Structure formats: structure tokens, C-alpha cells
Amino acid sequence: MKQITCIEDLRDIHRRRVPKMFFDYVDHGSYAEETLRANRDDLKKIKFRQRILVDIAKRDLSTTIIGERAALPLILAPVGSTGMQHGDGEIHACRAAHAAGIPYTLSTMSICSIEDVAANVDQPFWFQLYVMRDRGFVKALIERAIAAKCSALVLTVDLQVIGQRHQDIKNGMSVPPEIFRLKNIIDIASKPGWVKGILGAKSRNFGNIAGHLPGSKDLGSVSAWVASQFDPSLNWKDIDWIRSIWPGKLIIKGILDVEDAALAVKAGAEALVVSNHGGRQLDGAPSSIEVLPQIVDQFGHRIEVMFDGGIRSGQDVMRALALGAKSCMIGRAYIYGLGAFGGPGVAKAIDIIKNELSTTMALCGVNSIAEIDHHVLAK
């Protein structure tokens, strides 16, 4: 992987090695993809203030994330169906995150179950929760996360209904995926390495659902259940119920408005994530970086603010930190690495971002994460 220089290189290899329906699932957004593009475009507009002749010989990229030491201000975000990008993908990604000294977040809609991941890693990981209509199942899911010693619960609140993703419809990326369309059969047949990895994996179903619901042994039955379970009645009162079950740290992900940030603070969460679901939900919403400063200004002294949306480089991490985020989540960036090379690809993605952040800090004349603020930005 010596010739891999950036996240875009990993993306190119991911696109070649993984069937189109699964690559597009990660790579694309909802509707016209305006918000997806805005996440990247608005980050690129933020420019740095170059400083010279500053002693930057002892740079330290470590920080704390919800009170725990981390080697980088970086978190691997929850991504559904990660195990369909590479066999046992959640386990490989979690191991890479832990080796790098940063948190990993397992999605409710993962292929490997909570128990599969916990049995194959040595450290606690975070668990991301979607609240379904079946509150008994949700309660059991939280209890399973407790039993697995998950160290934080990430409650995603911007998926009460699902934004249409045109590319998924065109590719037959449904639940279950329409693998037996002729074009998909031809595409998959041209990816023997991917096929071998998936066939040898622990699971090809949604691990947190299959085996824990009656009749959920096959993808078809899981599909019917999932389709009926996203709950448009979910509201802030449900946070109290979750709090009554979950004893640990709570992070609310999907905040894009100052009024909602105020409610997250009131709910007693340890952290919130400024996020528009990677441009996969409300198309036409502002970019995450556009709304970050106002949320930090009003509530950064009361709650830990994390950032998610468009991070593809260490420079992007620096931009978000300069505008007040305490740490950043990456989703697509590490999935590109996973699809390209498995676990080593995830490690490579993390390493790319780490090295870019370190270099950017040096050229801006700062030695620690704590020093990064608006002063590193050009006026």
C-alpha cells in the first residue's frame, strides 16, 4: 500500500473491488445529493493561516473523547451493512480502530452482531442505536450492549423516516439486496475476492436482528420486520426511557439545529454529534460544518460537541476542530479502506488522516489538539 497517498486512492480501489450496489450504498446520498456535496464543498472553502519558525518538534495528537484518552480526535462512525463491504467488516474495522487508539461505533444494522464483535476484540467499543417500534427488542438490544461492555451508546435521531437514495433503487440495494438481477450477477462474478471473503464470513444477515426475533433466519423475514420498524413517533420523551435502561455515556447523533442542540443538553447527554447523516437523509439541509460554529458557540461549554459530515483528510479534521468540535467521526473514509484492503485498509485510512493532521498542525504552528481554535484559520 506504499503508493496509496490519500483517501481518494482508497475510494478508487474500493470501487474496483466491491460490487457496485454495495459501493454506491456507501458513496452516494439522498435525492439530488445537494447536502452530500455541500458537506465536502463547504469544508474545502475553509482556509488555514500558515505560520513559520515556530518550534513544532514535539507535536501531540492525543486528546480525550467523552473522558477517555484517545490517540487522535477521531472516531469510526456507525455504518450499516459494513460486513457487506468486506467479510466480517465490523470486526476488522473495530480491531483497526483499537490498534490506532480511537473508538469504534457498531451500527444497529451491522452484519456482525454485538456478540460477534465483542468476542473478537479485546477492548470495549461504542454501540449505535436505532429506536424501533418494538420497544421490547430495543430494550433487549441495549441490554446486549451492556452485557458486551460497550462504553458508550450513540443514539441516532435523524432516521425516523428514510430519505430516498436514488442509486440504491437503481442498483436493487434493498433488504434483502436484489443480487440476482442479471447486471448484479455479472458484477459480483467479476469480484471473486469479495465473494470469497463474504462466503467465509460469520454472517451475511443483520447480526443484531437475525436469531433474536422469531422467524428471522433469512433476509426476507428480516426485511419485512425492518420495513415496519422505523418509528416516526420517536420523540424526546423516549430519551428518558432509554436513560432508564442504559447506565453509561449517551451520545446523541444527528443534531443540525440550535434548538435541537438545546434539547440534547436538557436530555442530559454527555455529547452530541453535529451531523446530517452524511447527506443521506434531508437533502437541501445545510452542511454539518456550516452549522457547527453556532452550536458550539451556544452549547460547547455545556456539552461535548462532535462533528460528522464530509471528513476525508486530516485537514478536514483540523477545520472542524478549529470551529469548535472536540472530535470527528469518519464513515465513508474508513469504509473505502475496508472495501479496498480489509482491516489493513482501515488502518491505512486512519494513518493517512493522522499524518495529514500532524503535518497541517505543524504548518499552522501548533503542537497540540488543545491549541487548535479559530486562530489557525485565515481571515
Residue 278: pLDDT above 90?
yes
Known binder of ligand: residue 331?
A: yes
Consult the annotation and say whether 253 binds a ligand: yes
- Cβ distance 253 to 133 under 8 Å? no
Taking residues 39-48, report their average pLDDT: 98
Q: Is 98 designated active site?
A: no
Positive or negative, the CA dihedral 232, 233, 235, 240 is negative
For the record, the C-alpha cell of 350 comes out as: 486512519
Pick left, alpha or beta for residue 54 (phi over 0 → left; psi -120 to 50 → alpha; otherwise beta): beta
Record the cell numbers describing residue 305, joined without a space: 460537541
From 12-16, 112-116, 174-178, 369-373, the region with the lowest mean pLDDT: 174-178
User: How far is 148 from 326, CA to CA, in rounded Å?
Assistant: 27
CB atoms within 10 A of CB 212: 16
| Annotated binding residue 151 | no
Give the CA angle between residues 232, 111, 194 to the nearest 5°.
130
pLDDT of 336 over the 90 cut? yes
Mean pLDDT of the residues in the chain: 94
Catalytic residue among 14, 212, 277, 375: 277
> 3-class SS at 227?
helix
Q: Is 325 left (phi over 0), alpha (psi -120 to 50) or beta?
A: beta
Specify the pLDDT at position 229.
83
Contacts of 331 (CB under 8 A, 6+ apart): 26, 76, 77, 78, 79, 278, 308
- pLDDT score recorded for residue 113: 95
* pLDDT in the model for residue 50: 97
Position 223 scores a pLDDT of 62
**pLDDT for residue 209 is more than 90:** no
Give the pLDDT score at 90.
98
* CA separation, residue 42 to residues 21, 213, 217, 291, 302 (Å): 28, 43, 44, 11, 26
Bridge partners (DSSP) of residue 377 are: 48
- Compute the distance between CA of residue 97 and CA of residue 348 in angstroms, rounded to an integer: 11
Predicted confidence (pLDDT) at residue 52 exceeds the cutoff of 90: yes
Among all chains, which residue has been given the C-alpha cell 433466519?
A: 217
* pLDDT of res. 226: 74
Q: What is the mean pLDDT of residues 38-62?
A: 97
Q: Is the dihedral of CA 292, 294, 295, 298 positive or negative?
A: positive
Is 78 among the annotated ligand-binding positions?
yes
Spatial contact of 72 and 354, defined as CB atoms under 8 Å apart = yes
Q: How far apart are CA 63 and CA 61, in angstroms?
A: 7
Average pLDDT over residues 53-57: 95
Q: Which of 33-37, 178-182, 309-313 has the lowest mean pLDDT?
A: 178-182
Strands 63-65 and 68-70: antiparallel
Torsional class of 309: left (φ above 0), alpha (ψ -120 to 50), beta (otherwise): left
CATH topology of domain 7-376: TIM Barrel (3.20.20)
CB 156 within 8 A of CB 255: no
Say whether pLDDT at 98 is over 60: yes
Q: Which of 69-73, 174-178, 259-263, 336-340 has the lowest mean pLDDT?
A: 174-178
319 membership: H or E segment, kind and range: helix 314-322
Question: Is 104 annotated as belonging to a binding site?
Answer: no
CB 25 within 8 A of CB 168: yes
Residue type, 49: R
pLDDT band at residue 228 using 50, 70 and 90 as cut-offs: confident
Which residue has 465473494 as its cell numbers? 195
% of the chain exceeding 70 in pLDDT? 96
